[in-house]
Amino acid sequence: MRTMRVFYGSRVQYSHRYQCRGDDSHIGSILCIGIGGVRVDRAVAVKILEAVSDSAIDAAILAADQIARNADEGRKALVREIEEARYEASLASRRYEAVDPSKRHVVRELEARWNAALERMSQLEHRMKAHDAQAAARPKIDREMLMRLADDLPAAWNAPTTDTRTRQRLTRLLIVEVIINLDDATNATVLTIHWVGGRHTELRIGRVRCGRYPEDRKPNAVDVIRKLGGHWPDRELAVTMNRMRCKAENGGTWTTVRVRELRERLGIAAFDPEAETTPTISADQTAQRLGISVPSVHRLIREGVLPATQLMPSAPWKVPVAAIETDAVVAGVRAVKSRRPKNYVDLQGQKLPRLPGL
């Protein structure tokens, strides 16, 4: 099970990547953690609305009343202890004053008992002051206001005019953080919601299996190298084989070194970009040249606008360099950019997620 801790914000992509060294030999040696934020947002939103429902507020008020009653009983017990300690200190004082001063051992013992009684009385009085200060700092509960909140928050949350920033502010009023675990055994996302006030709630959300080969179609490493070897660099082959869930002989993930060793054992030459008769580039490089995202490039390929070839499923796409300058591709890229939001430039310059309230 792998863990990440996030400060909660609505409609974000929860993702975390372990830092890998820059050496290409470690490509694919550590898998990344990534989950979509839509399901997480929906599950947390349901819990938020449940937390402010009528029954939840009634239960919270009953719990607060019970805490107040326990505090009152504790104060009454302290009052009785203080009265007892004062009586014992007064009794010890009278005994000390009544003893004959010439009996030094008795005087010393009675003085020690008197000091112990005074110290116990002082400690109990300090406890009483701390108890009263804590009771005074406890917020007053307005039942009517809380019930109005239970009625108004669902309407405000689901209103069409409520934007993401408003939901983030409402969320931060109730939630401190969300701790996310990935349970690979059950393919589930385990959420631990840390509420304001100290309570925790655990949720389990099933993850969607996507981008993987079916169990009966897992490719063999040798077959992959025979089909893709020499067509892509070893680094790209390692990434591709890990994406295919193609395991090495020892059950580990593929690295550049392991791919090179297997390719050399099979007698397959290394990738030579100058040997290609038709210059091609990858989908990532195509996205950079066209100024669009990689998913948009894949969409153009699926629609047949951008010609590309793929040697086997999940393998990198090969896009002819000359194809990106055709009229059809230019029109497709123009259509993709026309769907961008008006503040696209500002969003691109935003390197860090905006925290609620800032």
| Measured distance CA(349)–CA(81) in Å, rounded | 65
pLDDT for res 27: 45
Alpha-carbon 213 to chain mean position: 27
Judge if 200 and 333 occupy the same domain.
no
Closest CA to 309 of 277, 340, 282: 282
Judge if 126 and 187 occupy the same domain.
no
Asked whether residue 356 is assigned to any structural domain, the reply reads yes
Alpha-carbon 313 to chain mean position: 32
Q: Which residue has the tokens 């393998």?
A: 315
pLDDT for res 336: 86
Number of structural domains (the chain) is 4
pLDDT for res 17: 34
pLDDT for res 315: 81
Asked whether residue 156 is assigned to any structural domain, the reply reads no
Judge if 264 and 337 occupy the same domain.
no
**pLDDT tens per residue, range 313-352:** 778 888 888 888 888 888 888 888 888 776 666 656 555 5
Judge if 133 and 62 occupy the same domain.
yes
Judge if 62 and 32 occupy the same domain.
no
Asked whether residue 150 is assigned to any structural domain, the reply reads no
CATH number at residue 291: 1.10.1660
Biggest CA-to-CA distance, the chain: 118
What predicted TM-score, i.e. pTM, was given to this entire model?
0.41
**What letters, b where the CB count within 10 A reaches 16 and e where it falls short, cover 239-258?**
bbbbbbebeeeeeebbbbbb
| Measured distance CA(31)–CA(187) in Å, rounded | 15
**pLDDT tens per residue, range 12-64:** 333 333 333 344 444 444 455 667 777 888 888 888 877 776 665 666 677 67
Asked whether residue 214 is assigned to any structural domain, the reply reads no
Judge if 104 and 137 occupy the same domain.
yes
Asked whether residue 148 is assigned to any structural domain, the reply reads no
Judge if 47 and 167 occupy the same domain.
yes
| Measured distance CA(308)–CA(322) in Å, rounded | 11
| Measured distance CA(138)–CA(9) in Å, rounded | 29
Judge if 173 and 48 occupy the same domain.
yes
Closest CA to 43 of 210, 207, 204, 209: 204
| Measured distance CA(213)–CA(215) in Å, rounded | 6
Q: Domain residues for 330?
A: 279-358
pLDDT for res 322: 87
Closest CA to 162 of 334, 11, 43: 11
Asked whether residue 74 is assigned to any structural domain, the reply reads yes
For residue 198, the one-letter residue type is G
Asked whether residue 11 is assigned to any structural domain, the reply reads yes
| Measured distance CA(226)–CA(189) in Å, rounded | 37
Asked whether residue 157 is assigned to any structural domain, the reply reads no
Judge if 27 and 63 occupy the same domain.
no
Judge if 48 and 167 occupy the same domain.
yes
> Which residues of the chain carry a pLDDT beneath 50?
1, 7-30, 355-358
Judge if 232 and 358 occupy the same domain.
no
Judge if 37 and 97 occupy the same domain.
no
